[in-house]
Structure 1
Amino acid sequence: MSRLLIPRRRLPLTGLLLLLSSAMLWLIMNWAERTELARLQAAGSHRLEIYAGSLRNTVSRYSYLPRVLALNQEVRDLLAHPQDPTLQARANRYLETINQEAGSASLFVLDIDGTAIASSNWREAGSYIGNHYTFRPYYQQARVGRPGRFYGIGTTTGQAGYFLSLPIYQQRALIGIAVVKVSLDALEASWKAGAEQVLVADHQHIVFLATDTRLKMRALQPVPPAVQSVIRDSRQYTATHFPALPVHIDRPVDVNTAVWQLSDANGQTQQFLTQRLPLPEFDWQMLLLTDAASARRASHAALYAGVPTLAAIYFGLFAYLQRRRRIRDNLAAKALLEQANNVLEQKVADRTQDLQQINQALSDEIRVRQHAEAELHATQNELIQAAKLAVLGQMAAGITHELNQPLAAMRTLTDNAQTLLARQQSAAVQSNLNLIANLTDRMGRITSQLRSFARRGGDDARPVSLQASLSAALMLLDQRIRQQQVDIDMILPRDDYWVVFEPIKLEQVLINLLRNALDALQGRADPRIVIRTQVHETQITLMLQDNGPGIESNHLPRLFDPFFSTKRDHDSMGLGLSISLAIAHEFGAELTAGNLPEGGACFSLILQASPQKEATHA
């Protein structure tokens, strides 16, 4: 028994081992807990994006409604004559119908003084008509010409909702405001089916959506008196006092993640992994609270597994030391150590060779992919050039007609000039020569525009004059426009717009869209194409509308697919819109299609505005 006693000289070593064991157990527990938290964080990030996506989809589903109301003629007529009961009744029925079909909470129209003059709930006792909403931020934002966004409690109905507003203009003068109220109650109820807790707080850090109702109208941080005064003035919420969430932050994980201790109604605390996702488009933030009990269990499991493991390690170490006291064969120990070193060095060498082979394989794969991307880009450019030459071929008959007329005139003028020279009428000869020179200039402009369009476009984006590109496209299609007797209505500002694009490719996109509209107008008695623009900060939207039959609803999803064509003739390969979409994406633009409420199709080309100008057409 005396041999098992620890000698005095080994007491400091024993204490050090105990200290190291405690530190090792703590590290193992901490590692296990952090590993589980990392797993929960990865899963929570995906779930948080899903919740945020459902919120964005719910709001974006109704974002088109304010513009629909602003463009409706019945609404505009009522704003022009707000005291006309007949116009008000027609507008109320229109808003009621649109609200029922869209599934929004309510629709209403304000005059410039903030008074509701038409509403979808005009039949109900709590109708908005006659109420004043100048205190609402969505009115104040639209009053200065900006789209309004605001979440709050309805002052008339007492029901919460998200309000979207849009100013209505008549000849650049503000005449009213269209407002849409979207209910988020169904979305909030669907979130409750999940295992996590979801919170949404506004820019004042006040929770207004929550799967746990006791957390609503709570603040993530203290609300200053000035902010409370703003909330009262705008009547955003019925509450005026916003107590802090019953939360103790255990420790932060990163800038948007922390471990919370959340107290329930009985004072019991529960640990949650809290993840925050900013929603800058709403000026909100979304929080996901995931039960972190599994992280604590993982820490305890690591402790229960670590203690026996360390005990076994120390027992083995003790046995080894005891044995080492009896074995004094240093040469054998040295041989074993050298053998272990050789094995380790061999493993390191093998691993290094494997890593070199893997690195070489990755390099080969990168080169193959780069080559494939280069071939794909070259094929795409060849396809774009082929489509451009196909367009030139289709326009050849019209261009030939444009050239034959001045050629015939030049022949007649030349014969006349010879006769006049014989009669020595030099003044008349000079007049004929001037006419021939003018006809030559006209033919030169036609062939120059064709030569410019036929050459290959580059890949470098630069400032391009939008009006110059439109003029060039219209000039190439002038013969067909005059042949179909199409009325071109260009609603463009006096100042030129400059966009970031490649000039030749921009002209090709515009020609494809114009040809598509001309095809849709074949056989119409009053063909008309409207070209107009809209400016939104750093973007310029070019809209091309026609009064043709429009696009069938089952064709819209496939409209930009390669080789898809709605034309009955066999000359169309169905590549024009597909190539136009590819070119637009190449230069950071967007191309969309839809139908107008009054009939006809509308194509919208959203371009990046250029802050500077330079000459782009020779």
Structure 2
Amino acid sequence: MRRTLATRRVECKTLYMHRVWFIAGFLIAVGVLSGFVWSYGYRQALSQLSEKAEADLELAADRLSTQMQVYQELAVLMATHPILQELDQQADKRQAQAMLLDVADKTAAVNMMYLDQKGQVLVSAQPVSQPDMAEHPAFRRAMQGALGSAHEVTPVGDDRIYSYAAPAFGPFGQITGVLMVVADVQDVEQTWRGSTEAVFFVDAEGVVFISNRSDLLFWSREEGEAGLTPPNGAAVDFASTRVGGHELWKLNWGRYLPRDALHLTLELPVIDMTAEVLVDVAPALQLARLQAAAVAAICLAFGAMLFLAMERRRTLAEANAVLESRVAKRTLDLTVANDSLQKEVAERQEAEAALRRAQADLVQAGKLSALGQMSAGISHELNQPLMAIQQFADNGTAFVERGKPEKAGENLGRISEMAARMARIIKNLRAFARNESEPMGRVDLVQVLNTAVELTEARLNTENVAMDWQPPNAPVYAWGGEVRLVQVFVNLINNAADAMSQQDERLIQIVINNGERLSVTVRDIGPGIENTEKLFEPFYTTKAVGSSEGMGLGLSISYGLVQSFGGNIRGTNAPTGAMFTVELEYYREDEAA
């Protein structure tokens, strides 16, 4: 016994270690796979992000180049203006100044000035603080016969300006003067400031001169170094890495700049600057994390199901071994119990069959009870047409003897109508009284209610009960059995008439509500319902003990019939009287199939 327990403990320990190693190896494999998916997804997302960033950077660079080109072309076109060639007289200078001021106002240029060969300002649109421009880089380039350009910060106001200088040539090709156009960079920035991505332009000295993020203006970069340094030279957080051929910057330069950004550059030799963009890589990181998490979740779910299946298989194997050891012992007991159960099943089947027969007899008894209540009225309904037929027949014979065939024909037509009415009453009575269970299917609810009203019409007329029933023009199809539904509404109408038997004013109202849910309401103006909770219990009645009008089974039978159609019936008290609502299912072809 001790050896068996020790062996069992060793086997359990070995099995436990196998499980631990299996789970650990699986988790490591899932971690490696998730890391690979994260790396691959991150690189793919960076590639897509880089394509979009390149397009945004090119768009910003083209926008800036296009806006600056306006001032470049303005300098070239206005350099040879005839008014600028004759500035000897003071009046000529005033006319030239007015012309330059008008052009500057229309093009939003900060200033326009015309310089002589020595760099002296001859005339300008706005007053200048430095009349000698001989050392200006743009002027020196223009004096070489080419278009000169330069950018700088004004000593007064710290405004960033961009200058274009175009030479004016004389008739023999000599340079007679230079027209310089000065543009405000801030006016150019206003058209694209605040765009989604951080874009900045670095000049040849490595200084950020133009940007849609004002925090980056005048930051500088040492030659051969990455990143930027603020104007005050303070140290800032920065790190540069490369992932899949993409340069990534990790920085903390303000809330308007991303912490992890993709860095791209674009050379702009036309304006002697380099366009750069910083794109937030957080969406790429999030997408990669989601992909890795999805793969990990799928693998873990699969692993969990596999582990549970293995555990279940092992447990089942152990249980099977235990059960097999008990099968021989329990076989005899199970055989005896099986015989006992078979007898019990047979008894229950017989009891259920007897119950179904009793229910069917109870339903039929309910019908016959209703017919008994309506017998006097039905006799009257049949006796009245018979007497009318006899009278119309006698009148027709008399008219024939008198030679009035037209009158005799009218009487014969009335006899036919009376006979049809009697046939319809008898047909409804036969259908209502037959003891058979027709299959459920499509039932015209309007016809069912017409039949129920017609069956109870004699009694209602005898007891002076008014019926408010306006049948719709079109049929309303419900799911159920026609005869059983007629019995339900006959029971409800008779109950309503019974409830109002002790009052003078009597009215029953029937309405079909064919909205989203199909229902029929039968409402009276009687005293109402005393106990709605016991309303549909068998043998519950408010009539006097020993009354011949019923045993309290009508509503219980109706409840069972409506439930068999998948519907529901409920009774409530209205402001005057009681209201019974029968809810049914619409007939649908697909459900019937």
TM-score, normalised to structure 2, is 0.45
TM-score normalised according to structure 1 size:
0.43
Rg larger for: 2
